[in-house]
């Protein structure tokens, strides 16, 4: 009988197979299910589709695995762990700082970037010189384990510090409450603060609480197959510059912050933009361009002054040269509608002239540079990058090449010669800033996609990756 039992056990063991790993499930399913937050530092949907730094990064992972990407957004970081533990999401890509509280149930990936953590206050309300001066003043934080861990550590050394948890909002909501004097302080990471201060310019850093906090993706602890594949991808993305390019794409314009300029822009949004907004919207619809981008170009060119004239003779809201106006068949450059439609047509022309290998959003930045410095100088800068054995199709590389057009070593060898190449770099960064401010001011006017999941098709052609496409369920 004992021998029979041993044989039966051996037979059962031999006939049982281990369940497929999470990575195998993803590949068999044909989609990677990712939970994230709807925010400027993670994922959001614009008129031309999904975007955001976390989206770009995880989209690359899905492409590597040759599966579709299925995105689910939640309102609060505390909603992430249940989705991972239930298996409804395979991973989380939500700007999560590695923290002890989650590690009981969650494995973190290789850290792909770092952030600093700040205590934020409003300009003019009294900057604390030390944490002792924070005691007794209202602090509200998002109820995420990472921020909770930070405040709890502070309270160990400063027991008088009190705070309130917000279970339903996001960091953007609390930053807005600080800006409106509803609370004295909140906690925000540097990437969040750097974006939000461009449309809440009164926000300031009170105290730097932590530095170099690593951000990582999160996975269920019971199976690390998908995490290992993600780590390989993230290490390569860092090694080959993809992460640096994504960071520049979403945060490059935030490095230079002009308080006076942002405040002036916001005033003009209220007083001047309504005079011309309809023309920007109509031109954007006609030429397939986000009207806010056209408005940002117009502001950079003229501060939305229809009678603007430069010392070189360019005129109107979009500051068209006489030669450009002739090319566009525009009779009166000071007429707002003619100028805006002319500028939109000219910008759309630059977009079509660019090589197909330049993908969005870099394609837009290239076209803006061409609008400013001229398409031929842009070609020269691409030639410089080719001589340097660098990729000529990324805006990050272009920001290094354009200023070289002002150096004899380079412009003397190029067909179109000298150019003030630093100007288009500043020009593009300013427009990116204005555009993002306009986007976040006006985004609530548009009906957002409220799908529980947004499945993004990973479609490839012989020429390479096509634009992400949302497949509605």
Known catalytic residue at 104: no
Q: What is the dihedral of CA 276, 282, 283, 289, to 10 degrees?
A: 110
Structure tokens at 426: 């500043």
Residues 6+ apart with CB under 8 A from 171: 39, 142, 186, 188, 189, 192, 196
Q: Would you tell me the crossing angle of helices 291-302 and 273-287 to the nearest 10 degrees? A: 130
Q: Which of the residues 301, 322, 400, 445 is marked catalytic? A: 301
Query: How far, CA to CA in Å, does 251 sit from each of 39, 42, 52, 254?
Result: 14, 12, 11, 5
What pLDDT score was predicted for residue 473? 31
Residue of 111, 307, 99, 136 lying closest to 210 (CA atoms): 99
Q: How far apart are CA 166 and CA 394, in angstroms?
A: 40
338: left (phi over 0), alpha (psi -120 to 50) or beta: alpha
Q: How many CB atoms lie within 10 A of CB 219?
A: 23
What pLDDT score was predicted for residue 3? 40
Q: How far apart are CA 304 and CA 343, in angstroms?
A: 13
DSSP 39-57: BTTTBEEETTEEE-HHHHH
What pLDDT score was predicted for residue 260? 83
Structural domains present in the chain: 16-113+216-252 (3.40.190.10), 114-213 (3.40.190.10), 260-445 (1.10.530.10)
What pLDDT score was predicted for residue 453? 53
pLDDT, one tens digit for every residue, the chain (473 residues)? 444 444 444 444 444 566 789 999 999 999 999 999 988 899 988 766 788 999 999 999 999 999 999 999 998 888 899 999 999 999 999 999 998 888 888 999 999 999 999 999 999 999 999 999 999 898 999 887 788 889 988 889 898 898 999 887 788 889 999 999 999 999 999 999 998 888 889 999 999 999 999 999 999 988 999 999 999 999 999 999 999 989 988 888 887 778 888 889 999 999 999 999 999 999 999 999 999 999 999 999 999 999 888 877 788 999 998 889 999 999 999 999 999 999 999 999 999 999 999 999 999 999 999 999 999 999 999 999 999 999 999 999 999 999 999 998 999 999 999 999 999 999 999 999 999 999 988 877 754 444 445 577 664 333 333 344 433 33
Structure tokens at 466: 């096509």
Q: How far apart are CA 210 and CA 314, in angstroms?
A: 49
Q: How far apart are CA 223 and CA 19, in angstroms?
A: 11
Structure tokens at 386: 């080719």
């Amino acid at each position: 009988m004992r021998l029979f039992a041993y044989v039966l056990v051996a037979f059962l063991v031999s006939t049982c197979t281990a369940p497929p790993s999470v990575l195998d499930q993803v590949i068999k399913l044909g989609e990677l299910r990712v939970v994230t937050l709807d925010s400027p530092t993670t994922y959001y949907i614009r008129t031309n589709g999904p975007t955001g730094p976390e989206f770009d990064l995880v989209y690359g992972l899905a492409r590597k695995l040759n599966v579709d990407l299925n995105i689910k957004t939640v309102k609060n970081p505390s909603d992430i762990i249940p989705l991972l533990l239930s298996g409804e999401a395979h991973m989380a890509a939500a700007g999560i700082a590695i923290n002890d509280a989650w590690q009981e149930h969650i494995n973190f990936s290789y850290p792909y970037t770092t952030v600093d953590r700040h205590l934020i206050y409003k300009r003019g309300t009294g900057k604390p010189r030390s944490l002792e001066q924070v005691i007794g003043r209202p602090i509200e934080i998002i109820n995420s384990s990472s921020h909770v861990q930070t405040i709890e550590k502070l309270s160990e050394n400063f027991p008088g510090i009190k705070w309130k948890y917000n279970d339903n909002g996001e960091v953007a909501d609390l930053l807005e409450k600080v800006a409106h004097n509803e609370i004295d302080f909140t906690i925000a990471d540097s990437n969040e603060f750097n974006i939000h201060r461009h449309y809440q310019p009164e926000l300031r850093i009170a105290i730097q609480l932590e530095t170099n906090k690593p951000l990582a993706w999160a996975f269920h602890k019971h199976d690390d197959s998908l995490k290992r594949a993600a780590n390989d991808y993230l290490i390569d993305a860092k090694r080959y510059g993809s992460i640096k390019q994504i960071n520049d794409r979403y945060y490059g314009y935030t490095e230079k912050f002009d308080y006076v300029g942002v405040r002036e822009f916001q005033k003009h949004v209220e007083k001047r933009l309504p005079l011309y907004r309809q023309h920007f919207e109509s031109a954007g619809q006609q030429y397939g361009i986000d009207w806010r981008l056209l408005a940002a170009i117009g502001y950079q060119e003229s501060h939305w002054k229809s009678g603007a004239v430069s010392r070189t003779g360019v005129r109107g809201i979009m500051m068209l040269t006489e030669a450009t106006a002739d090319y566009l068949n525009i009779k009166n450059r000071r007429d707002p509608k003619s100028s805006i439609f002319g500028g939109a047509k000219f910008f759309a022309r630059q977009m079509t002239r660019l090589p197909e290998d330049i993908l969005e959003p870099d394609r837009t930045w290239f076209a803006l540079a061409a609008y400013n410095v001229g398409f031929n100088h842009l070609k020269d800068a691409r030639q410089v990058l080719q001589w340097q054995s660098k990729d000529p199709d990324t805006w990050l590389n272009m920001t290094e090449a354009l200023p070289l057009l002002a150096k004899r070593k380079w412009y003397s060898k190029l067909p179109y010669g000298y150019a003030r190449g630093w100007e288009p770099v500043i020009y593009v960064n300013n427009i990116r800033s204005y555009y993002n401010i306009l986007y976040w001011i006006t985004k609530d006017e548009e009906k957002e996609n409220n799908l529980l999941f947004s499945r993004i098709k990973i479609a490839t052609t012989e020429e390479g990756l096509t634009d992400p496409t949302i497949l509605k369920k």
